[in-house]
Amino acid sequence: MEFKSVLFYIFSAVTVLAALRVITARNPVHAVLFLVLAFFNVAGLWMLLQAEFLSLVLIMVYVGAVMVLFLFVVMMLDINIERVRQGFWKNLPIGALVGGLMVAEMALVLSGRYFSLANLPPHNLPADYSNTKELARVLYTEYAYPFEIASVILLVAIIAAVMLTLRRRKDNKAMHSADQIAVKAADRMRLVKMTPEVELPSAGKGEQP
């Protein structure tokens, strides 16, 4: 067995175990840490597939930013674990059904029987091949419209999340975008005419001012 195959099985096994611990850990902080471990091993799998750009982006963006944010949020929130776990056994059959369908779909894709993956030629890359350049070329040419649609969907999701979590209070101060756009210079600045004042020279000793 080649060394790359050994690394593949090690990364895959640790990823599966970490993913299982994410949904079975009783402590939310431990679940987030196991998710970070799963991301690291998936990055290793992408590195074995010569997708260096995706591997580094997964580590820097998700592990370095998103998961750290999740970890701080989970640590700062007072989460009632018992309340979160209510309804677990009730929803377990549906979750098992969805998980089984996902496993079946992944098995069909990875087997290559219905997608002709087994007939693909060997993937030999030249020494000067740029994974990042090739990814950008395909993303912004063949998949330009899906990329833009995904961007719009993410923007709408961000706006919806902000509006759903917005809490209005009586004592807070808010700025309205419509009022800012409709503002005029005359409303912001007022010129006041003042008579100039002349400062008199200071009087000396024994002199009347």
Do 106 and 142 fall within a single domain? no
* Distance of alpha carbon 72 from alpha carbon 59, whole angstroms: 18
Do 142 and 101 fall within a single domain? no
Number of domains within the chain: 3
Q: What pLDDT is recorded for position 205?
A: 53
Comparing 171 with 161, which gets the higher pLDDT?
Answer: 161
pLDDT at 105 over 70: yes
Do 5 and 64 fall within a single domain? yes
Question: In this predicted structure, which of 15-19, 44-48, 173-177 has the lowest mean pLDDT?
Answer: 173-177
Q: What pLDDT is recorded for position 15?
A: 93
* Distance of alpha carbon 110 from alpha carbon 35, whole angstroms: 23
Q: What pLDDT is recorded for position 166?
A: 67
Q: What is the mean pLDDT of the chain?
A: 80
Residues 6+ apart with CB under 8 A from 34: 18, 19, 21, 22, 25
Q: What pLDDT is recorded for position 188?
A: 74
Residue at 203 is within a domain: no
Domain limits at 97?
93-121
